[in-house]
Structure 1
Amino acid sequence: MTRKRATSIGFIAVLLWALLALFTVGSAPVPPLLLNTLCFAMGGTFGLIWAASTGALPALRTVPLKVYAFGTIGLFGYHALYFSALRLAPAAEAGLIAYLWPLLIVLFSGLLPGERLKAGHVIGAIIGFSGAALIITGGGGGFSTQYLIGYGLALLCALTWSGYSVLSRLVGSAPTATVAVFCLATAALSLPLHLVFEETVWPATSLAWASVIGLGLGPVGLAFFVWDIGVKQGDIQLLGTSSYAAPLLSTLVLVVFGVAAPSQILLWAALLITGGAFIAARASFKT
């Protein structure tokens, strides 16, 4: 596979993640842990079918247990927090806060051995977090506690995925097929927790079922496989930069489908969060 083709495949993940908020809203009122179970069971099953058809299954036996544990915790934690955040706060606003993860990845990566935190990282972080503050304060209209728990979970979501992404450099590499195991293990972990802590509520409409299936096949399924191919065989810097478009794309999708109302606050928050991440990324690209 050529570097250019792998990069193009990886970019598919960014487009799929732009649909994550829309499908999550559409899957209501399914509780977060049950949604985790259903989506990752689908993503993992199709991942195993793909691995079997490509002869990649034998390689799974050589992957260290710590890699499986780390990947499972990352996927489980991020999506349990994300689904919960979008149940407790407006989708567009909570989704934008969750999409602080590209900025945080750049910021945290500057703390890794051999890396250095630069002025551009700090400036980008200030700009990005000002976008999140704009959401939480309602554009200066006063601090509201109505959606504070949802916004807090969205911030934890961003911290979880950025921390997982940065620390993965210290865990070691693994074949793309391991993503299928991560997905199935996440589903297996989510199910008993759902039975203990949540009331079982199945999708009530065909739209809700379509949203759950869409999540399992796309943003919570195929996206992880194509992203893994992209970052391992393609241009990782270009892919990293493209991921900063995800907050804008996700917000645009919600507005187009009528889930979120267009507003100046939403626009400025999206621009600040995306722009802050891009500025921080440029600081990393400079020699």
Structure 2
Amino acid sequence: MTRKRATAIGFTAVLLWSFLALFTVGSAPVPPLQLNAICFGIGGTIGLIWTHFSGGLQQLRVISWKVYVFGTVGIFGYHALYFSALRLAPAAEAGLIAYLWPLLIVLFSGLLPGETLRRGHLAGGLLGFAGAALIILGGGADFSADNLPGFALAIACALTWSSYSVLSRKLGDVPTASVAVFCLASAVLSMALHLTLETTQWPQTQIGWLSVLALGLGPVGAAFYVWDIGVKQGDIQLLGTSSYAAPLLSTLVLILAGVADASWPLAAAALLITGGAVVAARANA
């Protein structure tokens, strides 16, 4: 597989993540950790079925347990930290801090063998972050010291996903099918936390059930498989910068669905995020 094709495949994860907010809204009133458990269960099961029919189950048996621990910590850890951060701090501010992960991917990737961090990569990442800030904060921010525990968890969240993505590059010989095990293990851990911390609730409408299924098939399912291909074989710096398209596309999807309203800050954010991606792409030319 060429580097360009792997990058394109990896970017489909960003497209899938852009539907995360819409499907999450549609899945109400299912609590977050229960939703996590269901969706990861769907994504992991489908991954195992695909692996079975492609003859890859034998590969899973010879993968080191350390790899499975690494993948589970990355996928489950990110979501657990994200949900916890949003419970202990305002969602907008905590979400913005958590969204440092694309910029951190760009920075950390410069430490990988065969990769070079250029000024264009850094400039593109900063432009993308500025665009994401416009969308997430909506023109206001309140970084109160009372919310420091939540902000700390949001930083840990960003470090977890960026580190997972960059270190995955070093596991290039590990088949993407291993992500199925990561997802199933994350489902088990999510359910354990759900039973401890939440009250079980199920979707009340057909739209709710379809939203849960769509989440498991896409943003909390297939997205992790294609992202794995992208970060292992594609242009990880360009993927990091272009990941800022996720909050932009997510907002556009919500507008088209009638859940959110269009605004001038959104247009400015679109220019910043698009400009950042262009700057980062030119850095590779």
TM-score (structure 2 length as normaliser): 0.79
- The 1:257/1:154 distance shift into structure 2, 3 A limit, reads farther
Q: CA RMSD in A?
A: 3.7
Tell me, in whole angstroms, the C-alpha distance in 2 between the residues paired with 1:158 and 1:121: 18
Do the aligned residues in 2 keep the contact of 1:179 with 1:225 (CA within 8 Å)?
yes
The structural deviation recorded for 1:230 is 4.8
1:108-154 Cα deviation digits (max 9, x unpaired): 22244675654445444543444455457642x56476xx79x9466
Tell me, in whole angstroms, the C-alpha distance in 1 between the residues paired with 2:76 and 2:19: 19
1:57-91 Cα deviation digits (max 9, x unpaired): 00001111111111111111223345567788678
Equivalent residue number for residue 59 of structure 2: 59
- The 1:164/1:228 distance shift into structure 2, 3 A limit, reads closer
- The 1:273/1:90 distance shift into structure 2, 3 A limit, reads farther
Aligned amino acid, residue 254 of structure 2: L
Equivalent residue number for residue 218 of structure 2: 218
The structural deviation recorded for 1:208 is 1.7
Aligned amino acid, residue 46 of structure 1: I
| Matched position secondary structure for 2:246 | helix
Structure 1: give runs of 5+ residues left out of the alignment: none
Equivalent residue number for residue 260 of structure 2: 260
Tell me, in whole angstroms, the C-alpha distance in 1 between the residues paired with 2:196 and 2:261: 36
Equivalent residue number for residue 49 of structure 2: 49
Equivalent residue number for residue 227 of structure 2: 227
Aligned amino acid, residue 79 of structure 1: H
Aligned residues: 281
1:147-200 Cα deviation digits (max 9, x unpaired): x79x94666544332121112234563112111101100001111111111122
Tell me, in whole angstroms, the C-alpha distance in 1 between the residues paired with 2:155 and 2:260: 20
Equivalent residue number for residue 27 of structure 2: 27
Equivalent residue number for residue 127 of structure 1: 127
Q: Which has the larger displacement, 94-103 or 104-113?
A: 94-103
- The 1:271/1:104 distance shift into structure 2, 3 A limit, reads farther
Tell me, in whole angstroms, the C-alpha distance in 1 between the residues paired with 2:275 and 2:44: 34
Aligned amino acid, residue 211 of structure 1: S
- The 1:274/1:247 distance shift into structure 2, 3 A limit, reads farther
Do the aligned residues in 2 keep the contact of 1:124 with 1:275 (CA within 8 Å)?
yes
Aligned amino acid, residue 61 of structure 1: R
| Matched position secondary structure for 1:30 | coil
Write the mapping of 1:152-171 to structure 2, written as runs, cut at 5 A: 152=151, 156-170=156-170
The structural deviation recorded for 1:103 is 2.5
Q: Within the alignment, does 1:246 sit opposite 2:246 as a pair?
A: yes
Equivalent residue number for residue 76 of structure 1: 76
Equivalent residue number for residue 173 of structure 2: 173
Equivalent residue number for residue 188 of structure 1: 188
- The 1:134/1:19 distance shift into structure 2, 3 A limit, reads closer
Q: Which has the larger displacement, 154-163 or 182-191?
A: 154-163
Q: Which has the larger displacement, 215-224 or 162-171?
A: 162-171
Structure 2: give runs of 5+ residues left out of the alignment: none
The structural deviation recorded for 1:2 is 7.3
